[in-house]
A = this chain, B = another copy of it.
Amino acid sequence: MAIMSSPLTFQPVLDRIAAEIGQTPDRGHPADYIPALAACDPHRFGMAVAELDGTVYGVGDWRQPFSTQSLTKVFTLALDLAREADELWEHVGREPSGNPFNSLVQLEYENGIPRNPFINAGALVVTDRLHSQTGDAAGTLLDFLRAESGNDGLAINEDVAASESAHGDRNAALGHFMASYGNIRNPVPVLLDEYFRQCSVEASCADLALATGFLARHGIRADGSRLLTMSQAKQVNAVMLTCGTYDAAGEFAYRVGLPGKSGVGGGVIAVVPGRCTLCVWSPGLDEHGNSVAGVTALDRFTTITGLSVF
């Protein structure tokens, strides 16, 4: 099979994938726990690839903003790690959970220390700590995403944040539960507000592929400054690969073979270290909460290009 018509561009690959996805009828179902997500059309599809220098290729709805949801966990992790370094790992683990993303079971057996920063409990700890460091966790995140994407129009959808809060009992339970073990420092309602706002940032595939670039550049931001050490950037990639797609991380590693992170808004970001970053969006989810078309598109991408880490 001829892989790419030109070694200089990913465009033909994206076009081919979009064509294949267009012929796939089964797209799963959008998340239905809040109205704003349930209303999404599962046939929307966008995909973007950003090269290290900021060149972006895209197809379909790649410029359409969508609800980032858990994708932001990658950025808050990096932003806190940049400030706290290994101190963070005393409060959240780095192991796959083997349980659904919002389970309390493992949390109880491990005395309030979440297994990893990408399950909800772990992300609450990261947000709590970033908020203590900065006084404005959601704002710090938004500033970072704007800077990396070059898109000053990125914003929090406050209606979505309010809707998340109104359906937030499970996350409130997680927050109070960890607080009972002394692993949360801010008042739980304050933490929840920061957390739900951070989940409600809207951005496009293009924005997010660009914003993820520092993980392919071994820690270097778009402006050339260093956010993470090389070692820390590798660590974030490792955590993404082992824990980034809920309790289907093994399946994702097996099929896609890249560090990746999914969100219930239908977005998936992925990293080819030293080469490029990707973001796919399609709102229909599988039973694990991962975008059906998103994972399929990434699977096709690594198969066609051979760009798996394995």
Q: Which residues of A contact B (CB under 8 A)?
A: 93-99, 103-109, 115-116, 169-170, 172-177, 179-180, 188, 231, 233-235, 237-239, 241-243, 247-251, 253-254, 257, 259, 273, 303, 308-310
Nearest CB in chain B: distance from A277 CB, A: 13
Question: Are B254's CB and A239's CB within 8 A?
Answer: yes
Residues of B within 8 A of A259 (CB): 310
Residues of B within 8 A of A170 (CB): 176-177, 180
Residues of B within 8 A of A172 (CB): 172-173, 176, 188
Partner of A309, one of B107, B109, B177, B309: B309
Copies in the complex: 4
Residues of B within 8 A of A242 (CB): 96, 241-242, 249-250, 253
Kindly list 15 other residue pairs between chains A and B, CB separation below 8 angstroms, not including A95-B251, A177-B177.
A94-B251, A96-B250, A104-B107, A104-B173, A169-B179, A173-B175, A234-B257, A234-B310, A237-B257, A238-B250, A238-B257, A241-B253, A241-B310, A242-B250, A273-B310
Nearest CB in chain B: distance from A68 CB, A: 22
Instruction: Report Cα–Cα, A241/B254, bound state, in Å.
Output: 10
Nearest CB in chain B: distance from A52 CB, A: 15
Partner of A95, one of B103, B108, B176, B249: B249
Residue of B nearest to A234 (CB): B310
Nearest CB in chain B: distance from A275 CB, A: 12
Partner of A98, one of B99, B176, B257: B99
Residues of B within 8 A of A180 (CB): 169-170, 173
Instruction: Report Cα–Cα, A97/B97, bound state, in Å.
Output: 7
Residues of B within 8 A of A238 (CB): 250, 253-254, 257, 310
Question: Are B177's CB and A104's CB within 8 A?
Answer: yes
Instruction: Report Cα–Cα, A176/B94, bound state, in Å.
Output: 27
Closest 8 CB pairs of A and B: A98-B98, A96-B96, A173-B177, A169-B180, A95-B250, A237-B310, A173-B176, A172-B176
Residues of B within 8 A of A177 (CB): 104, 169-170, 173, 177
Instruction: Report Cα–Cα, A254/B231, bound state, in Å.
Output: 9
Residues of B within 8 A of A175 (CB): 173
